Structure 1
Amino acid sequence: MSRPRERILSTSMLLFHRQGYNRTGINQIIEDAKVSKASFYQHFKSKDDLCIEFLNKRYDYWVSELEKFISEEKNLEEKILKSFDFLIYMNEKEDFRGCSFLNLLSEIPADQVEIHNVLRYHKNKLREFFNEEIEDEHTASHIYLLFESSILTSQLYRSNELIETSKTAIKNILNSSH
């Protein structure tokens, strides 16, 4: 059996992603992770601290999966389109659960500044990905917004249709910016 900290983290990764932050209580995490309350608080001062760790781990996982998914692509258009195919892949893998960060954003009050800072930091890293790949700042922003909205709309409609529509729009955007 893994160490208590790892069990708490892996349990929270599953529960926060599946149930959301507010619907997941510390007692459920403690019970499912098979740790004592004292052990939980030895590793995490609060549920918010655990949430921050969850966000960091989820980001690392998601980015490494994205990088593996697009690593074969050489040119810009193929790489960008493949990143949208990654969204389709993740929807199928995770049953249209959507973005853990945006899901959490809808649950966390604005006064939980530390969590909001982590959410913004990771979303900015995603924006930087598009900015590094695409020279034109407006084009990069446009594609980033299509990417984020594709995540949301595919979750809402439980369909990849609008991701495919976004890919067509991206081809037009990239062709017109050359």
Structure 2
Amino acid sequence: MKKLRGQIVIDKILDTAERLFYEQGYCNTGINQVIEEADIAKASLYKHFESKTDLLVAYLQRFHERWFGRLEAFVHNEPNPKNKLLAVIDYHRERQQIREFGGCPFIKANEEAGATDPRVRAEIQRAKLRVKAFIAELVAQSGHKRILADDELTQLLFLAVEGGVVEASIFKQTNDLEFAKDILQKLI
């Protein structure tokens, strides 16, 4: 029972940190605000997270696991191997709409903390490389036209999605992700 209560507290802290870090940014979010909005004691936060950076890393890890699980499920709902590649773009488009074009949490965290903390940078790199590896698997299984080599198509799709998410954040629309999808359809 004690372990369950501990997990509930951790989830409250991480839920609050996720919302605040994404909406306000890491640097603009103070530990006291997280404590107050999570409605927990200061000791509870420090029992589970020794520092604000530890909290950021834990948030990034949990966020990535949840996000990636949804990506896999979304893509694997598509039976056609070529269309799985297009589904990667559709997933990113959908997530940007859900997040009201707030951009990529990893890029945001990298800009604020990745340059100064190697643990944060490593976590962000791990998340991005996992997505790229997932795309590479899909490319290899897609039976695409071979206009591009597998590694070239993988890199193109990865960069198109990353750039499309940045554009969605800046212009508050998903037109560039749709454009990337149209181009990809011609290549697969």
TM-score of Structure 1 vs Structure 2, range by shorter chain? over 0.9
Give the direction of change, closer, same or farther, for the CA distance of 1:87–1:109 in structure 2 (3 Å limit). Answer: closer
Instruction: Note if 1:96 corresponds to 2:101.
Output: yes
Secondary structure at the counterpart of residue 3 of structure 1: helix
Q: Give 2:111's aligned residue.
A: 106
Larger deviation: 7-16 or 115-124?
7-16
Whole-angstrom CA distance in 2 between matches of 1:115 and 1:83 = 25
Q: 1:11 aligns with which of 16, 19, 27?
A: 16
Q: Give 2:165's aligned residue.
A: 151
Q: Give 2:125's aligned residue.
A: 120
AA of the residue aligned to 2:187: I
Give the 5 Å matches for 1:31-110.
31-108=36-113, 110=115
Whole-angstrom CA distance in 2 between matches of 1:8 and 1:171 = 42
Whole-angstrom CA distance in 1 between matches of 2:103 and 2:114 = 20
Q: Structure 1: which 5+ runs fail to align?
A: none
Whole-angstrom CA distance in 2 between matches of 1:110 and 1:85 = 30
Superposed CA deviations along residues 11-61 of structure 1, whole A, max 9, x for unmatched, are 111111221111111000000011121211111000000001100111011
AA of the residue aligned to 2:181: K
AA of the residue aligned to 2:174: N
AA of the residue aligned to 1:115: V
Aligned-pair Cα RMSD in Å: 1.5
Superposed CA deviations along residues 99-137 of structure 1, whole A, max 9, x for unmatched, are 100111111152311110111011000110111111311
Contact 2:85 2:139 in 1 (8 A): no
Q: Give 2:152's aligned residue.
A: 138
Contact 2:13 2:34 in 1 (8 A): yes
Q: Percent same amino acid at aligned positions?
A: 29
What TM-score do you get using the length of structure 2 for normalisation? Answer: 0.87
Instruction: Note if 1:23 corresponds to 2:28.
Output: yes
Q: Structure 2: which 5+ runs fail to align?
A: 141-149
Aligned residues: 174
AA of the residue aligned to 2:151: E
Larger deviation: 134-143 or 44-53?
134-143
Runs of 4+ in 1 over 3 A off after TM superposition: none
Secondary structure at the counterpart of residue 23 of structure 1: coil
